[in-house]
Amino acid sequence: MKIITCSSTLLLLLACLAAPALPAAAADGAVRGAPSCGEWVAQRKKAETLALANASWLIGYLSGLDAGSGRNVLAGRDNAAVFSWMDKYCREHPLKDVAAGGSALLEADGGSGGR
């Protein structure tokens, strides 16, 4: 029983030490479900149900990036401002995806929350 507890504690410790590397791994392609910028722009123009799903995905992704990086890109910025920023990003980078745009927002903003 003590061996199992020690092993579990060691695994938990290793997982905690690896956690700061997770946002970088996401930026390297471990992201799932990100719509393409082409889809983002087309669906936003039509106000489709998928546009709402994409917007929800983006806010969740940015929330995860905030939590993982310790920066707060969402502070001081409402959802409409985030979506407007992504609209512009996707028009300028049509071959990218929304995850790349979210990561670019985090980097461009520097965690200042648009202030």
Instruction: Tell me whether residue 4 is in a domain.
Output: no
The answer as to whether 63 is a domain residue is: yes
Q: Which amino acid is at 30?
A: A
Number of domains in the chain: 1
The predicted pLDDT at position 85 comes to: 95
Cα–Cα distance, 35 to 109 (Å, whole number):
22
- Give the structural domain span for 81: 22-109
Q: Give this prediction's pTM.
A: 0.68
66 found inside a domain: yes
pLDDT at res. 27: 46
The answer to whether residue 29 is domain-embedded is yes
Buried b (16+ CB within 10 A) or exposed e, 74-90: beebeeeebbebbbebb
Q: Is residue 2 part of a domain?
A: no
Structural domain contains residue 12? no
Q: Is residue 15 part of a domain?
A: no
Q: Note whether residue 80 is domain-resident.
A: yes
pLDDT in tens, 29-53: 467 888 999 999 999 998 888 899 9
- Rounded to an integer, the average pLDDT of 61-73 is 86
Highest mean predicted confidence (pLDDT) among 4-8, 17-21, 79-83: 79-83
Give the pLDDT band of residue 110 (cuts 50, 70, 90): low
